[in-house]
Structure 1
Amino acid sequence: MTQHFIKVKELLTELDYEITYASENDCVFVVSDERSGISNMVLGCADPILILEQFIFEVKDTSASTYVRLLQKNRDIIHGAFVLDESGKKVIFRDTLELENLDSNELEAVFNSLGLLLSEFSNELIELSKTKN
């Protein structure tokens, strides 16, 4: 696990992402990237994969149309996808990468994908997070 921790930390540093938390024992990182609007993204090693998760919003309107729209938006996401937590109310951006062959291009692609999603669909994401009247 230590080798994966070192590799991921080196890649994050190389890509100039701000590491706000790191645990070598758990091989977990929390990172932010102001340039792309990413805040508190969690990266965790679960050999053989690296799991990346970013909380997006909590669903207030639990109608089927909200979930259908989220699934439709998944089609537009270049890397990763929207997922729900166990409660079915927290929308999370999630992606997984192979640790063995992980490189900076792959890792950066995930951050770029999320950054693009947040910039292009921010208004719609805000609307989806609101309670319908």
Structure 2
Amino acid sequence: MNTYYNKVKEYLLNLEFNIVQEDTAEELFVVENPDGGIANLIIDCEDPILIIEGLLFELTEENPEVYKSLLKKNREIVHGAFVLDESGKKIIFRDTLQLENLDQNELEATLNSLELLLSEFSEEIISYSKS
């Protein structure tokens, strides 16, 4: 097991995130923080980077106005961004961090950014998920 994996686990526990699932072979976690609105967030140690991804919603059809709005919102997000999966239907929050010099503050900043995004943009996310 990679030392980065253990370090990331320690940071998550220090930040009081619930580890819902853990796969030591794949070196990934599924975490939640219900108070911050975060559920089923995947944190994957893929040396040399840490990948943080969470499904926000799925579109039933292509909607250029939704894409445009999300791209505009990306400019305001402090850490991370909205991205599409390979199908072009799933909207995901994603951020990547360097594992080699990762510290707890850096991981916390990304997680706080997601929490802030979910709290400030929740009405839009809910309306987009219905389209």
Q: 1:1-133 counterparts in 2 under 5 A?
A: 1-131=1-131
Q: Residues of 2 paired with 1:24 and 1:63: CA distance?
A: 38
RMSD of aligned Cα (Å): 1.0
Q: Please give the per-residue CA displacement for 1:8-36, whole angstroms capped at 9, x wherever unaligned.
A: 11111111110011111111000001121
Q: Contact between 1:2 and 1:24, CA under 8 Å: does it hold in 2?
A: no
Q: Residues of 2 paired with 1:112 and 1:63: CA distance?
A: 28
Point out 4+ residue stretches in structure 1 off by more than 2 angstroms. Answer: none
Offset at residue 61 of structure 1 (A): 4.3
Q: Contact between 1:17 and 1:33, CA under 8 Å: does it hold in 2?
A: yes
Match of 1:79, SS state, is coil
Match of 1:109, SS state, is helix
What's the TM-score, normalizing by structure 1?
A: 0.94
Count residues with an aligned counterpart: 131
Q: Contact between 2:19 and 2:31, CA under 8 Å: does it hold in 1?
A: yes
Match of 1:60, SS state, is coil
Counterpart amino acid of 1:86? E
Q: Contact between 2:61 and 2:89, CA under 8 Å: does it hold in 1?
A: no
Q: Residues of 2 paired with 1:21 and 1:73: CA distance?
A: 30
Q: Contact between 1:17 and 1:32, CA under 8 Å: does it hold in 2?
A: yes
Q: Residues of 2 paired with 1:9 and 1:24: CA distance?
A: 11
Q: Please give the per-residue CA displacement for 1:60-111, whole angstroms capped at 9, x wherever unaligned.
A: 3412111111111111111000000000000000000110111111111111
Gaps of 5+ in 1: none
Match of 2:107, SS state, is helix
Gaps of 5+ in 2: none
